[in-house]
Structure 1
């Protein structure tokens, strides 16, 4: 009886410890406990791509509410003018803050250097303090059934659009004649996706760009340590966002993808922006904005920097156990769908 009792209490103790660590991890990740603001933006200048709608527009508005000067970047001047009016209305101090927009197509080669030159000129000769690459596009489809041009197009926007701006901004911030080492840190923020942690069938034309962006960020967060200037690199990993882009995405999304994603949270742009900014203010390198995203990040940390060495290490050991149950279920859904619907080349004809 004592042996059974000891065994039972041992299991309960382990279960209780796992639960405590999970709750603590969730609390830390969601910012329940207060901490220093590592990215104050009051009086600073923030440049945001993809700022005419969706997540970028929400980020711009919330940055203005925190006292930042904001430069909005997108292709459409008409949409930017509308967004600019919203951003002005959200300003913490309308008399002191300044707002501007610049048109640019991030998919075009060599767009970033002239864009930043315009931003610096408008900003009184000073480089932006924060550059946040939000612009992106998702056109889901089965990779084999899609022309490679579609994948190249999404790579141009989702990877090269951010990579070019990062290259130009880091050269501006870290050059020999750049800001002194004792100035406040500048921040480069990439926007990737949770599919960079776990790719899902149907996102073949999209996932490679977001995975490449994650790899670039993981490299640059090390490289900036070589320079005397203080530069912080971050990467945000949202899931589904209820934006105009999400509506367009759903038009081409394969049915099997919708089946796999059934039940996944869809967050508003405002919620994602607020949670992302909160993570950046806590000093996080990898910022996820929902518990599913946190779990996916823990299961795929690899050599990426940790937000919390204790929590991330423990959870990266525990969370992968869930894949024992999740992966067989996902693959079973895919195989059952294939048996029912036949060759993928016929899917479009059936719709």
Structure 2
């Protein structure tokens, strides 16, 4: 009974005809989310830095929109989301001239550098904080006043499974994704009176261009740990998240491991589904035991890799 009255009601959202803006929308998960938004009937703005990628993706999405026959429009905007807020806000206002105010904001822009803590450049820590976290702060700040005035809107944050469970090699990346979770939790509470929905996506390893690049420099330990969770398609991730956005859910997880992590790390985060809340309340202890087994397995990987490298170094010295 207490859980029932503590669970806020879900506010569903109609996507058709709305202006959706997707950062990091020219590739990977962002591109697929933009694709799915077109299928849902949205007018879509994709934001990134590389103009060639933006133009190519925009043409592809506009062709899809034309095939839909619903007079949807697609546009692109080249914005450096690591720059000052004033320039970003001006760029967002320009996207609203033809498409109207932003109704749905997908904060997807992200970048990952993986290595041992001491091997990552200090400037890479700063860059990842700017791209992964502060870009979402700036973009949200640019649209939230209008949403509050209209008393409607949706803001989504794309975190990561590495924003739930930090593992070897992610000392620069994971903190930025954990930060998004905290930011989203706060905004969910602050924006509740204005009927603005907030959601959080925790994608696992996803088969994108960016992930393929990451694999080239990913530490052996990180690869071995990541392999245990499998690889998902951008479509799987995008479809699941948009379904949760439409139904008013707060958190989207992917796959069995993702679901378990979502239950385990729910903590003080909001929950709008009574069924999910009951599962979280009843299974958290069990899943904690399972997670301890995972951590033990991961720690074993770290030790094996360490001793293997040490043995190789000793052989070279001989």
2:56 is equivalent to residue 82 of structure 1: yes
Structure 2 matches for 1:218-237, cutoff 5 A?
A: 218-225=185-192, 227=193, 229-237=194-202
2:87 is equivalent to residue 119 of structure 1: no
1:4-39 Cα offsets, whole Å, 9 max, x none, are xxxxxxxxxxxxxxxxxxxxxxxxxxxxxxxx9923
Q: CA deviation at 1:277?
A: 1.1
Query: In 1, are the aligned partners of 2:41 and 2:70 still within 8 Å (CA)?
Result: no
Distance 1:203 1:324, change over 3 A: closer
Number of aligned residue pairs: give it.
Answer: 299
Q: What secondary structure does 1:302 align onto?
A: coil
State the TM-score, normalizing by the size of structure 2.
0.88
Over aligned residues, Cα RMSD in angstroms?
2.0
* Residue 304 (structure 2) aligns with: 336
Distance 1:99 1:317, change over 3 A: same
Which of 39, 44, 52 in structure 2 is aligned with 1:65?
Answer: 39
Give the distance between the partners of 2:284 and 2:183, measured in 1 at CA. 22
Give the distance between the partners of 2:261 and 2:217, measured in 1 at CA. 25
Structure number with the higher helix fraction is 2
Structure 2 matches for 1:221-300, cutoff 5 A?
A: 221-225=188-192, 227=193, 229-300=194-265
Query: In 2, are the aligned partners of 1:62 and 1:90 still within 8 Å (CA)?
Result: no
Larger radius of gyration: 1
Give the distance between the partners of 1:129 and 1:61, measured in 2 at CA. 17
Q: CA deviation at 1:330?
A: 1.4
Q: Give the stretch that moved more between structures: 98-107 or 333-342.
A: 333-342
Structure 2 matches for 1:103-142, cutoff 5 A?
A: 103-110=78-85, 111-123=87-99, 126-142=100-116
Q: Name segments (4+ residues, structure 1) moved above 4 Å.
A: none
2:127 is equivalent to residue 162 of structure 1: no
Give the distance between the partners of 1:205 and 1:251, measured in 2 at CA. 17
State the TM-score, normalizing by the size of structure 1.
0.80
Segments of structure 2 that go 5 or more residues without pairing to the other structure are 1-9
Give the distance between the partners of 1:106 and 1:46, measured in 2 at CA. 17
Query: In 1, are the aligned partners of 2:15 and 2:246 still within 8 Å (CA)?
Result: no
Give the distance between the partners of 2:131 and 2:247, measured in 1 at CA. 29
1:252-284 Cα offsets, whole Å, 9 max, x none, are 211111112223221111221111112222221
Distance 1:107 1:95, change over 3 A: same
